[in-house]
Structure 1
Amino acid sequence: MALSHLLLYTLFIFSIIISIQSSSSSSEDTPITRFQQYLRFITTHPNPNYTAPISFLLNQAQTIGLTTRTIEIVSNKPILLLTWLGSNPNIPSILFNSHLDSVPAESDKWIHPPFSAHRTINGNIYARGAQDDKCIGVQYLEAIRNLKSRGFVPLRTIHISYVPEEEIGGFDGMMKFADSSEFRDLNLGFAMDEGQANPGDEFRVFYADRTPWELVIKAKGAPGHGAKLYDNSAMENLMKSVELISKFRETQFDFVKAGRFANSEVISVNPVYLKGGTVTSSGFVMNMQPSEAEAGYDLRLPPMTDPDVMRKRIDEEWAPSIRNMTYTVKEKGMLRDHLGRPLMTPTNDSNPWWSIFKQAVEATGAKLAKPEILASTTDSRFIRNLGIPVLGFSPMSNTPILLHDHNEFLEDTVFMKGIEVYESVISALSSFEGVSGQVI
């Protein structure tokens, strides 16, 4: 009986200790808890809440001692700009960008709720946006907090931007911001934006994005009985185009499989829908050939692609008018900058910013992988279009790539290492004296 009482007493004391530790942990104010707090704001489309995270960021900025400005070019889609004034504000400044919004999450397919920012015993922090890209949004601030605590004073002015709508194209976010007088007044010489995780032990860095094109091809032809053979029927014409496009896709994919090019260095063409047939309430009419048929494709073009050659291929081969074909192309971004040059940032000695960035990362004991073209798109393209060099970089090594995936997470040690890396990068870039104008 005494042993039973002792066991109960021990369990009672243990529960009190755990409760106290839990309470203490929840009230901690650390880089990790601040990251978790930022992750808990639900900023998913189609109705992202921008008010709460901006309020949080404003509070953090004021605590650190940064000046703040909220810009609303499009109603209810605010842009937050934080600034650390340099000792020489007349020379070009540095911008560190991230986006406020995130893609939706299917809660029932996550092992932890996607907006709980649950931290496991091994340090994994589960949340939508943990990798894409709320991590860097907090790391920028934590790095500056540490630099300020050590008395560091930047030569160049440092700006941090938090923009909306990146996950749906950035057209009401960075695109409009980059075209504004407020953006021009920043006098930027260099910028950094988001990157991606790497399962290996190196950090990935991106010097360009691929540009998305949405292609819809349509075919017309004589309708008629399903048993009759027609020349140039709608479905026949569409299928000829589908075959030609499929062969082009295979050729591009063969380059990747052979190791000649990375996935992001070729033109990807993927079918996303096919539409045709005559439909009634009971289903497709099988003995009728339709007069119209349609297919939609997602194209991703690397910056070295000649857009005129691509348009000619579509016009003459994939959807020629001589086969009763029409098409529309929605070009969701540019392949060339304002001077007609491919939207790429040099990653060699011709670009002093690259050398400074590389040395700063390596000074922390980290390694950079071979610079890449991003397979998808980021807000970087709108800044590069102005002739401003931009690198995409999210310091996440030994981390599975989980952006837009279920169970997105970032390990706490990886997050903390990222702060150290950004301290080195921010101090090095903002201290660079060698360039007075923009470099590209």
Structure 2
Amino acid sequence: MSFNGLFYFIAVALLLLTTSTIANDSILSRFQQYLQIDTAHPSPNYHKAADFIISQAKSLSLESRTIEFVKNKPLILLKWTGKNPDLPSILLNSHTDVVPVEPHKWSHPPFDAAIDHENGNIYARGSQDMKCVGLQYLEAIRKLKDAKFEPLRTIYLSFVPDEEIGGHDGAEKFANSEIFDEMNVGIVLDEGLASPEDYYRLFYAERCPMWLVIKATGAPGHGAKLYDNTAMENLLKSIESVRRFRASQLDMVKAGLKEEGEVVSVNMVFLKAGTPSPTGFVMNLQPSEAHAGFDIRVPPIADQASLERRIAEEWAPASRNMTFEYKQKVSVYGANGKPILTAYDSSNPWWSLIEEAIVKAKGKIGKPEIFPASTDARYFRMKGVPAIGFSPMANTPILLHDHNEFLNKEEYLKGIEVYESILKSFASFVEGKNGKDPLRDEL
């Protein structure tokens, strides 16, 4: 190669590197702007977040619509119309709210979205859960539009409120609305979890909450007397029974027999008993009532009816003057009587498509999982629509709801490439006879 040729080659390489750096800086800046909007409960600034999303939609020439199923809780619905809108559409769902923070326990202010330039980590509440995903959807669409890609299927993006407090005024109302029915959704993508390993995690179901409160009653008496069947004694027997069950579930996880999402999780979240006094509690009076609250999560592959019998007969038996109530109880079965989950075998072409798209983007995939907690995806699965939980964060500690939540900027940028590959595959898919895709070889 001549000197002039070498000089030209270096100049072009430097120009491409500079252009790429500028583009990445703009992408990261938009992510930071979204993270800097304080949408933490109990007073999320939903309208400011909505204004930001709508501004991004305008820059991408996407249709936008603001829906308030409940006043002051806007849901933003964006649309990229496909060439064949009669085909079932694709829905990319994310939530705009985040959980509260304790700022003094963070090494970086939780709403500054500061980038630590030593390691490239972006510290902010919502960096993993799940403002990253919402913006990655948009950035992937930006790249596809820049490449002149035209989707065959219509793509919708929903930015919903209230996921962190149950989603009842957000995704639940949305999934059960005429608006959603008219969208003819064929597949939903929603959030997943970070992976500390070098592969991505895909979720086909999630555990359903059964928030349980057990109440024990008994005659009050002097604190020095040994009574039978006191409220506290009976409640402690129940707590020990619950503890043994919890240990049996955890042992299966520790032994590698089951994944965390495949067992029933039980955690005591409050204990209420005693007679208050100005200095604390009355010490020489045995209380007549005692309560304990438990956060129970049940996977759709578990026998929920058997668990309910255990609660009634063993954890809170009427024979021990005990009662119980559910603060929230979600069935693991849908309206068709089948477990609420998304197939991940050959019967579901979307699962194969997402796996192939991730590999094509040079990503690795772990085995299909059940999400250990709850997400908005359950409301779409209850409607019979397949939903896949996925957040492209490999080599990342799981920090949702934790102090110092962060996402590395390189992982964020890589995730955009992964979504670009997924959306191109999903939006071009036409299911032929016997589930075969005539366009698969062209992608």
State the TM-score, normalizing by the size of structure 1. Answer: 0.91
Matches within 5 A, 1:187-336: 187-336=184-333
Q: Tell me the CA shift for residue 285 of structure 1.
A: 2.6
> Displacement of 1:118 after TM fit?
0.8
Q: Distance in 1 between matches of 2:24 and 2:207?
A: 42
Map of 1:126 onto structure 2:
123
2:113 maps to amino acid: A
Which residue is equivalent to 2:66?
A: 70
Shift in Å at residue 435 of structure 1?
A: 6.4
For 1:163, the equivalent position in structure 2 comes to 160
Distance in 2 between residues matched to 1:400 and 1:388, nearest whole Å = 30
Whole-angstrom CA distance in 2 between matches of 1:395 and 1:27: 20
Query: Deviation digits for residues 157-188 of structure 1, max 9, x if unmatched?
Result: 10000000001111111011111111111101
Structure-2 separation of matches of 1:367 and 1:172: 36
AA in 1 matched with 2:292 = A
Report sequence identity in percent: 55
Match of 2:32 in 1: 36
2:78 aligned to which of 78, 82, 99: 82
d(CA) in 2 for partners of 1:303, 1:359:
26
**Kept in 2: contact 1:94–1:191 (CA 8 A):** yes
Q: What is the CA–CA distance in structure 1 between the aligned matches of 2:291 and 2:24, rounded to whole Å?
A: 57
Shift of 1:393: 0.5
In the TM superposition, what whole-angstrom CA distance separates every residue of 1:360-419 from its partner, at most 9, and x where no partner exists?
Answer: 110011111111111111100001001111111010111111111111111111111111
The residue identity in structure 2 corresponding to 1:248 is F
1:413 aligns with 2:423: no
Do structure 1's residue 143 and structure 2's residue 152 form an aligned pair?
A: no
Using the alignment, how far apart are the partners of 2:120 and 2:236 within structure 1?
Answer: 52
Read off the aligned partner of 2:226 and give its amino acid letter: L
1:59 is displaced (CA, Å) by 1.2
Counterpart-to-counterpart distance in 2, 1:351 and 1:306: 25
- C-alpha deviation, 1:29, in angstroms: 6.8
Q: Measure how far apart 1:223 and its partner are.
A: 1.6
Match of 1:53 among 49, 52, 55: 49
4+ residue runs of structure 1 moved beyond 6 angstroms? Answer: 25-29
Summarize the Cα distance change of 1:44–1:26 in structure 2 as closer, same or farther, 3 Å threshold. Answer: farther
Q: 1:342 to 1:327 in 2, by over 3 A?
A: same
CA shift at 1:245, angstroms?
1.1
Q: Please, what is the CA RMSD of the aligned residues?
A: 1.9
User: 1:333–1:381: 8 Å Cα contact kept in structure 2?
Assistant: no
Distance 1:378 1:191 in 2: 12
How many residues are aligned here?
414
* CA separation of 1:328 and 1:73: change in aligned 2, threshold 3 A: same
1:92 pairs with 2:88: yes
**SS at the partner of 1:295?**
strand
Tell me the TM-score normalized by structure 2.
0.90
Alpha-carbon shift at residue 340 of structure 1 (Å): 1.5
Tell me the distance in 2 between the aligned counterparts of 1:254 and 1:200.
23
8 A Cα contact 1:175 1:382, kept in partner: yes
Q: Residue 97 of structure 1 aligns to which amino acid in structure 2? A: N
CA drift of 1:221 comes to 1.2
Mapped to 2, the partners of 1:148 and 1:69 lie a distance apart of 20
Residue among 88, 96, 103 paired with 1:107 = 103
Structure 1 CA distance, aligned partners of 2:54 and 2:68? Answer: 15
Deviation, 1:28, is 9.4
Letter of the 1:112 counterpart = H
- Equivalent in the alignment of 2:180: 183
Moved more, 75-84 or 308-317: 308-317
In structure 2, the CA distance between the partners of 1:343 and 1:201, relative to structure 1 (3 Å rule), is: same
In structure 2, the residue matched to 1:362 is: 359
1:161 is paired with a residue of what secondary structure? Answer: strand
